[in-house]
């Protein structure tokens, strides 16, 4: 499984560089409507190429740990990877040119098929575990279902460009599609994986899974309510109550994480974990913007579009990106270390996983990303193009140091050990 995991990480890193580059060429679109071709291309490159790809790769390594059994298949992930990579490239380029013809439809079909293969691998692996499913396993399995629903609706929207058959306008379904992906796929998946890994990384003594149960049911109930009410009535005053239920689910998860930190045996906070903490701050900022989006939307105020753009960037280039930028150097070094030194463990002294990548590059990456957040999001809120541009330059530096460090890690040669 080493090669398929690495393939996903490398493709994801390349997508981040492409994403940062395209953003530099799209500064004029950042303050406009989120339905513009360039922003649609960037959003899908971020969600599928950067975020989903690396999650798939990490899951192929971590799911056997989470479900306590072997991965069902090693062939399905390779077929899915080829389809996902081809689909992402075709979809992003089609949106950029806004060519809604055959290539965009083929891209949608490839991505949906790749997701079906990923879901089949996860579900069939889960079936091999005869034990009762733990709550973090439920999060992961449910996230896979939401991912399929998100991709299927996305394919229907692509087909609707050419063959108009959906009963309501495109933007109406786009809001549902976006939140199925954000809350259903990314949020549930991240909660499920992190609720297993963070206590393990921190050696936490206290893990109150009842809090995760409340989080699971509140977030899923809120998402279902949003989809049903949003389809029938659109954004309305009930949306405030639905959003409050989802936020309550996040609060229960946050309490779980805080308890893990307070009961940890490892007192030193490593730099990758610092990136994780930054990501939670960016998620909190996105949650705080939600009521403003709903309010301005109900008032037909143009600021709803601006805050929607900021919200989207806080989710994809903020929360999800910061989490990946940190956790990549907690998961991938262990994967490489296992490949290089597992047979020698316990017999000779081997390097630690944290010694396989460049800490200097990681410090530069973290500093550049922190500057990006400070410049870009303040620039977006103030509608200051120069401040926003400075932030995007920092994001490009972040992407280059990240991919450079990935290659440093992957090119590590086994030391000669006595």
- Residues 287 and 324 both lie in one domain: yes
Of 241, 265, 289, the domain-final residue: 265
- Residues 188 and 249 both lie in one domain: yes
- Evaluate whether 290 touches 19 at the Cβ level (below 8 Å): no
Of 218, 249, 265, the domain-final residue: 265
- Residues 177 and 87 both lie in one domain: no
Question: Alpha-carbon distance 35 to 23, whole Å?
Answer: 15
- Residues 79 and 176 both lie in one domain: no
- Evaluate whether 156 touches 111 at the Cβ level (below 8 Å): no
- Residues 43 and 23 both lie in one domain: yes
Tell me the average pLDDT of the chain: 87
Residue 266: is its pLDDT beyond 70? Answer: no
Domain contains 138:
no
- Residues 102 and 224 both lie in one domain: no
- Of the chain, the percentage scoring pLDDT greater than 90 comes to 46
Q: Which of 192, 8, 210 is nearest to 114 (CA)?
A: 8
Tell me the pLDDT tens digit for each residue of 345-399.
666 677 777 888 898 999 999 999 999 999 999 999 998 989 999 999 999 999 9
Domain contains 199:
yes
- Residues 275 and 390 both lie in one domain: yes
- Residues 260 and 311 both lie in one domain: no
Residue 64: is its pLDDT beyond 90? Answer: no
- Structural domain total, the chain: 3
Tell me the pLDDT tens digit for each residue of 304-333.
888 888 999 999 999 999 989 988 888 888
Q: Cα-flanking dihedrals φ and ψ of residue 264, to 5°?
A: -75, 150
Q: Give the pLDDT score at 53.
A: 94
Q: Which two tokens stand for residue 70?
A: 């072997």
- Residues 172 and 284 both lie in one domain: no
Average pLDDT value for residue range 116-140? 81
Could you list the residue range(s) of the whole structural domain that residue 185 is in?
A: 166-265
204 bridge partner residues? 264
Question: Alpha-carbon distance 367 to 49, whole Å?
Answer: 24
Question: Alpha-carbon distance 107 to 291, whole Å?
Answer: 34
Domain contains 150:
no
- Which is higher by pLDDT, 237 or 19? 19
Average pLDDT value for residue range 225-243? 88
Average pLDDT value for residue range 141-161? 93
Q: Give the confidence band of 418 by pLDDT, cuts at 50, 70, 90.
A: very low
Domain contains 240:
yes
- Which is higher by pLDDT, 414 or 326? 326
Domain contains 297:
yes
- Residues 254 and 362 both lie in one domain: no
- Residues 38 and 121 both lie in one domain: yes
Q: Which two tokens stand for residue 370?
A: 């922190």
- Please give the model's pTM, rounded to 2 decimal places: 0.90
Residues 377-380: contacts with CB under 8 Å, at least 24 apart: 377/285, 377/310, 377/313, 377/314, 377/318, 380/30, 380/31, 380/306, 380/309, 380/310, 380/313
- Residues 228 and 178 both lie in one domain: yes
Of 265, 283, 311, the domain-final residue: 265
Domain contains 152:
no
């Amino acid at each position: 499984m080493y090669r398929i995991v690495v393939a996903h990480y490398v493709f994801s890193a390349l997508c981040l560089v492409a994403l940062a580059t395209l953003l530099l060429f799209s500064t004029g679109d950042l303050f406009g409507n989120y339905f513009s071709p360039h922003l649609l291309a960037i959003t899908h490159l971020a969600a599928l190429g950067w975020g989903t790809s690396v999650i798939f790769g990490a899951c192929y390594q971590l799911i056997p740990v989470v479900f306590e059994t072997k991965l069902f298949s090693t062939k399905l992930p390779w077929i899915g990877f080829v389809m996902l990579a081809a689909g992402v490239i075709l979809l992003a380029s089609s949106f950029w040119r806004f060519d809604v013809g055959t290539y965009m439809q083929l891209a949608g079909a490839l991505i949906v098929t790749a997701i079906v293969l990923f879901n089949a691998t996860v579900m069939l692996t889960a079936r091999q575990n005869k034990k009762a499913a733990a709550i973090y396993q439920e999060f992961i399995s449910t996230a896979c279902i939401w991912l399929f629903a998100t991709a299927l609706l996305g394919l229907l929207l692509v087909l609707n460009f050419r063959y108009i058959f959906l009963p309501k306008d495109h933007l109406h379904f786009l809001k549902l599609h976006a939140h199925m992906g954000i809350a259903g796929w990314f949020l549930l998946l991240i909660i499920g994986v992190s609720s297993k890994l963070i206590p393990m990384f921190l050696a936490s003594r206290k893990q109150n899974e009842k809090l995760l149960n409340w989080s699971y049911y509140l977030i899923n109930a809120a998402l279902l309510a949003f989809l049903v009410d949003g389809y029938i009535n659109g954004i309305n005053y009930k949306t405030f109550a639905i959003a409050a239920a989802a936020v309550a689910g996040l609060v229960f998860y946050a309490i779980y994480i805080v308890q893990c930190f307070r009961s940890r045996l490892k007192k030193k906070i490593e730099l990758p974990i610092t990136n994780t903490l930054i990501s939670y701050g960016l998620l909190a900022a996105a949650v705080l913007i939600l009521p403003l989006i709903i309010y301005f939307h109900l008032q037909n105020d143009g600021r709803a579009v601006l805050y929607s753009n900021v919200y989207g960037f806080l989710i994809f280039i903020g929360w999800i990106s910061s989490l990946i930028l940190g956790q990549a150097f907690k998961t991938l070094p262990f994967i490489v270390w296992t490949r290089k030194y597992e047979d020698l463990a316990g017999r000779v002294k081997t390097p630690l996983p944290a010694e396989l990548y460049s800490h200097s590059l990681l410090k530069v990456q973290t500093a550049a990303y922190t500057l990006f957040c400070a410049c870009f999001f303040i620039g977006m809120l103030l509608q200051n193009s120069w401040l926003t541009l400075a932030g995007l330059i920092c994001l490009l530096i972040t992407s280059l140091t990240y991919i450079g460090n990935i290659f440093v890690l992957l090119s590590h040669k086994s030391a000669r050990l006595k």
